Structure 1
Amino acid sequence: MVFAGRKGATQTRPGTLPFDEVIATADVLSLHCPLTDETRSLIAAPEFDRMRRKPLIINTARGGLVDEEDLERALACGQISGAGFDVTLPEPPPLNSPLMRMAKRPNVIVTPHTAWASSEAQQALADQLIDNIEAFVAGQAKHLLVEAGR
């Protein structure tokens, strides 16, 4: 598993590889970032054209990170091996959207933003909540707190 630096960055942080290198060498490309002006259509035709290994594209982050029209073309011409999407833009997607058309393919799965909803995930969230409350009541810092300004 590798982590990509920001798209277009001239330098990467320790522990990350250049975005273009990850795009070119990934077997599985899993997206985990917010939708911002910078990340909208993060993966589009130019990125699909650089994918040499026909990766599986997974998006459980935010709809809009992948250009759906370009994704549909990449699937049709074999640039990628498949796609798994738990997010769409808008939610829910129109039935005639590219992603919903692609959902009919055997190598594509589209779920309605419910990847977090397994009983295991819900139990993990409940356990984290209880741990945080118990730590707070005991006056202890907990590792799952978000620092202000980050």
Structure 2
Amino acid sequence: MTPTPTTDWLRLDQQICFSLNAASRAFGGVYRVILKDLGLTYPQYLVMLVLWEHGELPVKKLGEHLRLDSGTLSPLLKRLETAGLVRRERSVRDERSVEVGLTDEGVAMRERAVEVPRRILGATGFDLDEIRVLRERLDLLTGALDAAAEQAQGAVERA
């Protein structure tokens, strides 16, 4: 959109960050209801998704997949471990590293979770192609913003 004299760029309804935040909060509300049956929070569900997809991983790698630091990830893993869904063990190759894997109960939960994406899709009112295009655009946006943040951080460090 090209700015015009009548465009007020400081209006809330002109802020893409607000639209994304509002959509994220709305997703959170739907996920909260859907994930209640599994006994998971949305962040815990994301951890389970990564482990179902990749299997056992070091905490650091898990954090990279989720874009979370260990300070945020550790309490999530502790709650999942207490629930009997994951296990954490020191790596035999590197004692400084902690490996996270699914327990039998965590593996079995995958079958119960299969309906979650279908229910979320239904809640959006979008079809699969619309979701795919939206996800691709959001991935591009994330990449652009990551690059902009890195560039800005580099400029600050050089100053």
TM-score, with length taken from structure 1: 0.27
Query: Which one has a larger percent helix, Structure 1 or Structure 2?
Result: 2
Higher Rg: 2
Q: TM-score, normalised by structure 2?
A: 0.25
